């Protein structure tokens, strides 16, 4: 076995699924059962209506990731699962930072901060300012260390979203898929909070 | 791409009829060919049971004594009949009692559909009486599960449930139906079976190239070895498998769940694999040049230490589940697909051969094993009886025609090693999960699934006490199940490990038992206890000739060990004969 198979690195797992309640658990436990930590998880609609897309980031060896992806693909409501190294995807994370406006205005040149860190101001209020940056982990981390001395009030970073550099093939298949067999609407519980209208015993 | 449409439906109603969700469910079961349901009623499933009252002539509902018994019975039924086992349970504790059986069915790929009642949809998440989050509890142990909150969903969801449970690699499916959906009236348009789900591919596409590569490897092999598992039976590919084995002339060994796919006495059947399997199959796994694995998943009890497993061999792996390929053992050639399709393709391409010398090597190991282990186990000179001689006597009477249901532990290994199987679907046991308490309820289900066959449950004194309440099910249904308790007054397998690996520190393996014959009598089941060898043939004959169920308790040696044995963490080649 080559080193590449056994050496741990970040992998981006992309999963196309039906939009089904409970599927998140079914996919998440494939990792937790094997005591593998999910570092980032994002679920969103895909380019195709009614097909959902999971982006999952884990640090593992390729051998393990390969087996995990097969277990994921085995699930009834999973259409397709892929894995890619960071080099194979274009990815971004979004981060928000809340800082006291007074401190910022007094001690730092906001304009310089924005310019140097590719950040933009989302909200500017008398009491606080919210900055936003988008980028790789190092980039969003960088602004934390810059803002920390000035009293970073709140920080949050989104899950990673990743686009596969070479994903044209599956897009066509997916579209064909949806054209031939359109997906169904999810039936959610319309009875919740209607207790008084329902007979019970 | 094919679009799902199957013609088989309920007598197509010209106009939709207004029925309750419960009635739609039962109509669906009938179209699916269900004849037997194992279940237990309760508050949240009462509307279904109310509807069932009118379906008594079409659906045989067996009232079990515990939901775990219900699902094990469903598993036994599925294993002997080849059909889907159906189980009903109520919400909360009813549903949680299914979990062991679901896990067992999941790991042993048994098709089961469980219907659980659930509290009213508007009460979900309110900690209502007998509410439990069954869907999330059972997610890791089901192939698929789904919660129905609206009766309109029932026909389609039940159709999917049966399709998913039995197609591809089979497995358990659980459908949780809230009480309002059971009561709700809706326009029932008839029931159409499902044969396609767009996101689900039950069988991988067969790649002819791999079949050709596999055939080339097999044709060049000097010492090829076939190891097969339950996939052959689940795929109903016994004939195709036999044709492949016979044309190739390759010695073939089985996993516990594969037993009986070809008869025990077949000249190319060289025995059992794994921890307590036969000597030759284990040792020679590490000497063969091509290992052909068919419908098996390289469980750790089969492979022993993986980094010393068949390293010299090229591996051809036939499996319907792509996730099994390369999971434990890296294959040289992966033959993806249903072995009912791939085996004939392979048989066509292989040369007809006889590996006489190689087969003799197996026979030579068999001779050594008989000398060192088997002879004394089957013909003991000790005053007390051995488990092996009981199985041997049983073989002589049943001639290998009976269905043998075993529990878990020493008796299970002994029964699997020595029982003769002439027919497929004759060995029912808890393989992957190792569920003590499996045998008694599974035997009940096995008999319902194959009513023209003799069913003998072989159970240890420990395991029997885990689900003995199902004697009540036997009493009430009058089902004919023969029960042999091999009583060694110990939790034998754990005791064996403690003897071999824990310096005989017998920690909590000394188990006391009630008078089993008296317990049986309390349930109006005939019984007998024997502790003398000379009574054995007569007692077995009496058991088998008695009309109805019979419990035979056989007192066997207290401290007997099952050998051969591949100790945990050792290679299959390091199998011990003593």
Three-class DSSP category at B209: helix
Q: Which residues of B touch A (CB under 8 A)?
A: 1, 3, 120-125, 135-136, 139-140, 143-147, 149-150, 153, 164, 178, 180, 183, 197-200, 321-323, 326-327
Which entry of B67, B238, B240, B553 is annotated as an active-site residue?
A: B67
Residues B228-253: what's their mean pLDDT? 98
ipTM of the complex: 0.91
For A195, which of B122, B150, B178 is closest by C-beta distance? B122
Torsion of CA B33, B35, B39, B45, to 10 degrees: 60
Q: Is B354 a catalytic residue?
A: no
CA dist list (Å): B246 to B112, B242, B258, B315: 33, 6, 17, 20
Query: Count of CB atoms within 10 A of residue A30's CB?
Result: 21
Q: Is the pLDDT of residue A149 over 80?
A: yes
The CA distance from B575 to B564, in Å, is 6
Contacts of B476 (CB under 8 A, 6+ apart): B63
The CA distance from B573 to B578, in Å, is 14
Boundary of a domain, candidates A89, A124, A144: A89
Determine whether the interchain pair A26/B139 forms a contact, defined as Cβ–Cβ distance below 8 Å.
yes
Query: Count of CB atoms within 10 A of residue B399's CB?
Result: 10
Residues A87-108: what's their mean pLDDT? 89
Whether residues A33 and A78 fall in one domain: yes
Residue B83 lies in domain: 17-188
Residues B369-394: what's their mean pLDDT? 97
Structure-token pair, residue A3: 């080193």
Q: pLDDT (tens digit, 9 = 90+) per residue, A169-200? A: 567 777 776 777 777 776 666 666 565 555 55
Q: Is B493 a catalytic residue?
A: yes
Q: Which residues of B441-455 are buried (b: 16+ CB within 10 A; e: fewer)?
A: bbbbbbbbbbeebbb
Interface test with A, best of B124, B152, B199, B201 (most A CBs within 10 A): B199
Residue (of B299, A125, A142, A124) closest to A133 by Cα position: A142
Structure-token pair, residue B336: 């993806």
Q: Is the pLDDT of residue A201 over 80?
A: no
Per-residue confidence band for A164, with pLDDT thresholds at 50, 70 and 90: confident
- Whether residue A81 lies inside any domain: the answer is yes
Contacts of A91 (CB under 8 A, 6+ apart): A12, A136, A160, A161, A162, A163
Residue (of A48, A194, A88, A31) closest to B199 by Cα position: A48
Q: Is B209 a catalytic residue?
A: no
Whether residues B397 and B468 fall in one domain: yes
Residue A109 lies in domain: 91-157
Structure-token pair, residue A81: 């699962």
Three-class DSSP category at A52: strand
**The pLDDT of residue A112:** 81
Contacts of B93 (CB under 8 A, 6+ apart): B67, B130, B132
Q: Are A77 and A18 in contact (CB under 8 A)?
A: yes
Which entry of B18, B129, B220, B351 is annotated as an active-site residue?
A: B129
The CA distance from A171 to B182, in Å, is 40
**The pLDDT of residue B518:** 98
Query: Count of CB atoms within 10 A of residue A175's CB?
Result: 14
Residue (of B316, B533, B297) closest to B432 by Cα position: B297
- Residue numbers in A near B125 (CB within 8 A): 192
* Lowest-confidence region among A179-183, B254-258, B310-314, B321-325: A179-183
Whether residues B282 and B181 fall in one domain: no
Three-class DSSP category at A191: coil
Task: Map tokens 């290679």 to a residue.
Answer: B571
Query: What CATH number is attached to the domain comprising A149?
Result: 3.30.70.1150
Q: Is the pLDDT of residue A129 over 60?
A: yes
The CA distance from A172 to A62, in Å, is 27
Residue (of B116, B342, B300) closest to B215 by Cα position: B342
- Whether residue B483 lies inside any domain: the answer is yes
**The pLDDT of residue A193:** 59
Query: What CATH number is attached to the domain comprising A64?
Result: 3.30.70.260
For every residue of B181-197, which 3-state class applies, written as one string? HHHCEEEECCCECCCCE
**The pLDDT of residue A3:** 64
Per-residue confidence band for A148, with pLDDT thresholds at 50, 70 and 90: confident
Residues B128-134: what's their mean pLDDT? 97
Task: Map tokens 């099910």 to a residue.
Answer: B473
Q: Is B421 a catalytic residue?
A: no
- Whether residue A185 lies inside any domain: the answer is no
**The pLDDT of residue B10:** 53
Q: Is the pLDDT of residue B22 over 50?
A: yes
Whether residues B354 and B217 fall in one domain: yes
Determine whether the interchain pair B139/A25 forms a contact, defined as Cβ–Cβ distance below 8 Å.
yes
Which residues are bridge partners to A85 per DSSP?
A11
Residues B197-216: what's their mean pLDDT? 94
- Whether residue A167 lies inside any domain: the answer is no
Determine whether the interchain pair A200/B199 forms a contact, defined as Cβ–Cβ distance below 8 Å.
no
Which entry of B143, B160, B166, B179 is annotated as an active-site residue?
A: B179
C-alpha R_g of chain A: 22
Q: Is the pLDDT of residue B274 over 60?
A: yes
Query: What CATH number is attached to the domain comprising B276?
Result: 3.40.50.1220
Task: Map tokens 């390091």 to a residue.
Answer: B574
Would you list the DSSP string of B330-344?
Answer: --SEEEES-HHHHHH
Per-residue confidence band for B4, with pLDDT thresholds at 50, 70 and 90: very low
Query: What CATH number is attached to the domain comprising B180?
Result: 3.40.50.970
**The pLDDT of residue B211:** 97
The most distant pair of C-alpha atoms in chain B lies apart, rounded to whole Å, by: 75
Per-residue confidence band for A110, with pLDDT thresholds at 50, 70 and 90: confident
Whether residues B228 and B168 fall in one domain: no
Whether residues B47 and B120 fall in one domain: yes
Whether residues B342 and B218 fall in one domain: yes
The rounded mean pLDDT for chain A is 86
**The pLDDT of residue A175:** 75
A187 touches chain B (CB under 8 A): yes
Q: Are B342 and B318 in contact (CB under 8 A)?
A: yes
Structure-token pair, residue B52: 């069932």
**Regarding predicted confidence, which is higher, A30 or B12?**
A30
Boundary of a domain, candidates B330, B362, B394: B362
Residues B154-183: what's their mean pLDDT? 98
């Amino acid at each position: 076995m080559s080193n590449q198979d056994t050496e741990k690195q970040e992998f981006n797992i992309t999963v196309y699924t039906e939009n089904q309640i409970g599927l998140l658990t079914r996919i998440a436990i494939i990792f937790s059962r094997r005591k593998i930590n999910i570092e980032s998880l994002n679920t969103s609609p895909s380019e195709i209506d009614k097909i959902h897309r999971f982006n999952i980031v884990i640090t593992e060896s390729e051998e393990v990731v390969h087996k995990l992806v097969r277990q994921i693909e085995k699930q009834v409501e999973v259409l397709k699962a892929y894995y890619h190294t960071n080099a194979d995807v274009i990815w971004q994370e979004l981060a928000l930072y809340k800082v006291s406006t007074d401190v910022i205005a007094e001690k730092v040149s906001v304009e310089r901060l924005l310019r140097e860190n590719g950040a933009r101001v989302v909200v500017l209020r008398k009491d606080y300012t919210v900055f936003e940056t988008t980028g790789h982990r190092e980039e969003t981390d960088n602004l934390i260390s810059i803002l920390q001395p000035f009293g970073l009030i709140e920080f949050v970073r989104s899950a990673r979203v990743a686009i596969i550099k070479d994903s044209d093939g599956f897009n066509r298949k997916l579209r064909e898929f949806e054209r031939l067999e359109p997906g169904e609407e999810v039936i959610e519980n319309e009875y919740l909070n209607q207790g008084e209208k329902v007979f019970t015993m | 791409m094919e679009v799902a449409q199957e013609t088989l439906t309920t007598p197509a109603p010209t106009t939709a009829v207004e029925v309750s969700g419960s009635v739609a469910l039962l109509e669906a079961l009938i179209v699916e060919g269900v004849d037997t349901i194992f279940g237990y009623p309760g508050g949240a499933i009462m509307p279904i049971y109310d509807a069932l009252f009118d379906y008594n002539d079409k659906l045989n509902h067996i009232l079990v004594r515990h939901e775990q018994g219900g699902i094990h019975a469903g598993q036994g039924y599925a294993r002997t009949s080849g059909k889907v086992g159906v189980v009903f349970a109520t919400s909360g504790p009813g549903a949680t009692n299914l979990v062991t059986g679901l896990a067992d069915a999941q790991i042993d790929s048994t098709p089961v559909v469980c219907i659980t009642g659930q509290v009213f949809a508007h009460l979900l998440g309110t900690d209502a009486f007998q509410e439990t989050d069954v869907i999330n509890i059972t997610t890791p142990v089901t192939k698929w599960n789904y919660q129905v909150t609206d009766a309109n969903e029932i026909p389609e969801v039940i159709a999917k449930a049966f399709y998913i449970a039995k197609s591809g690699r089979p497995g358990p499916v659980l459908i949780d139906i809230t009480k309002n959906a059971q009561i709700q009236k809706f326009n029932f348009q008839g029931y159409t079976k499902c044969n396609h789900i767009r996101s689900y591919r039950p069988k991988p596409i067969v790649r002819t190239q791999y079949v050709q590569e596999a055939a080339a490897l097999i044709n060049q092999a000097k010492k090829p070895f076939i190891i097969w598992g339950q996939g052959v039976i689940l795929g109903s590919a016994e004939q195709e498998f036999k044709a492949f084995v016979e044309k190739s002339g390759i010695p073939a060994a089985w996993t516990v769940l594969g037993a009986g796919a070809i008869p025990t006495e077949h000249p190319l059947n060289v025995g059992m694999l794994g921890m307590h399997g036969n000597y030759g199959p284990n040792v020679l796994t590490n000497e063969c040049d091509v290992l052909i694995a068919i419908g098996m998943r390289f469980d750790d009890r089969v492979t022993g230490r993986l980094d010393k497993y068949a390293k010299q061999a090229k591996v051809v792996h036939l499996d319907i589940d792509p996730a099994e390929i390369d999971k434990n053992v890296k294959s040289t050639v992966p033959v993806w697909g249903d072995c009912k399709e791939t085996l004939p393709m392979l048989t066509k391409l292989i040369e007809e051969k006889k590996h006489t010398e190689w087969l003799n090597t197996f026979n030579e190991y068999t001779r050594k094993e008989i000398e060192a282990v088997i002879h004394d186990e089957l013909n003991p000179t000790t005053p007390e009886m051995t488990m092996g001689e009981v199985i041997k006597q049983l073989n002589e009477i049943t001639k290998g025609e009976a269905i043998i249901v075993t529990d878990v532990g020493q008796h299970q290994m002994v029964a699997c090693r020595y029982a003769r199987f002439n027919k497929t679907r004759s060995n029912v046991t808890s393989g992957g999960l190792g569920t003590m308490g499996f045998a008694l309820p599974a035997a009940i289900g096995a008999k319902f699934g194959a009513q023209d066959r003799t069913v003998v449950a072989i159970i240890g004194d420990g395991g029997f006490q885990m689900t003995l309440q199902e004697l009540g099910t036997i009493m009430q249904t009058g089902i004919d199940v023969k029960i042999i308790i091999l009583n060694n007054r110990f939790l034998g397998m754990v005791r064996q490990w403690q003897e071999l690996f824990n310096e005989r520190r017998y920690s909590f393996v000394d188990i006391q038992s009630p008078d089993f014959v008296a317990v049986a009598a309390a349930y109006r089941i005939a019984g007998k206890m024997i502790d003398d060898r000379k009574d054995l043939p007569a007692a077995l004959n009496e058991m088998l000739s008695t009309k109805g169920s019979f419990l035979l308790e056989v007192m066997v040696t207290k401290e007997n060990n099952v050998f051969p044995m591949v100790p945990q963490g050792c290679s299959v080649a390091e199998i011990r004969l003593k």
